[in-house]
């Protein structure tokens, strides 16, 4: 025979879900080195995506034509698309407090992989002087990796 819930049990069941509150994390509760590296990562990522968008849409006549023939610009566009998703996951993981270290680790590994593959694939065929804008992107990425490592080291789980 099935026993039905009484009113007190219904209220207890409903109150279980009422006590959960969503709280967003703030960077002010973190250390100064974490905040510097956190904001640097966001500013760097957004500025690099904007520079890539500007160059690929408005400055194509200044890019080496062989660079365009080999579809390297398409490769960099796909990497920028992946990177914007990783940046979104980075910010959401921090503000919601779920899996932040994992997301930062993925971003760090992705950056290391993208840097070495860009140096091997693109810059083995073209010198850094032949693709100055994209070379600046590849050469400044170690700063981004240091900032990523800084967020990983200085992050405090509250």
pLDDT digits (tens, 9 = 90+) for 25-63: 777 788 999 999 999 999 988 888 887 788 777 776 766
Q: Please check whether residue 63 lies inside any domain of the structure.
A: yes
Q: Is position 35 within any domain?
A: no
Q: What is the pLDDT of residue 96?
A: 86
Instruction: Compute the distance between CA of residue 99 and CA of residue 152 in angstroms, rounded to an integer.
Output: 12
Please check whether residue 64 lies inside any domain of the structure.
Answer: yes
143: in domain? yes
Whether 150 is in a domain gets the answer: yes
Is 109 a member of any domain? yes
Question: Is 132 in contact with 123 (CB distance < 8 Å)?
Answer: no
- 117 located within any domain: yes
Average pLDDT, the chain: 80
Range of the domain at 123: 42-154
Statement: residue 129 has pLDDT above 70: no
Average pLDDT over residues 105-117: 89
Domains in the chain: how many in total? 1
């Amino acid at each position: 025979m099935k026993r039905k819930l009484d009113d007190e049990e219904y209220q207890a069941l409903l109150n279980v879900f009422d006590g959960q509150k969503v709280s967003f994390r703030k960077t002010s509760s973190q250390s100064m080195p974490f905040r510097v590296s956190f904001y640097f990562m966001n500013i760097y990522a957004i500025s690099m995506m904007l520079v890539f968008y500007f160059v690929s849409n408005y400055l194509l006549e200044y890019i080496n034509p062989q660079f365009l023939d080999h579809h390297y610009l398409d490769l960099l566009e796909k990497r920028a698309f992946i990177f914007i998703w990783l940046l979104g996951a980075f910010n959401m993981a921090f503000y919601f407090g779920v899996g932040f270290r994992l997301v930062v680790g993925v971003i760090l590994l992705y950056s290391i992989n993208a840097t070495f593959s860009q140096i091997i694939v693109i810059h083995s065929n073209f010198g850094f002087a032949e693709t100055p804008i994209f070379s600046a992107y590849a050469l400044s990425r170690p700063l981004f990796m240091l900032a990523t490592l800084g967020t990983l080291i200085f992050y405090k789980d509250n």
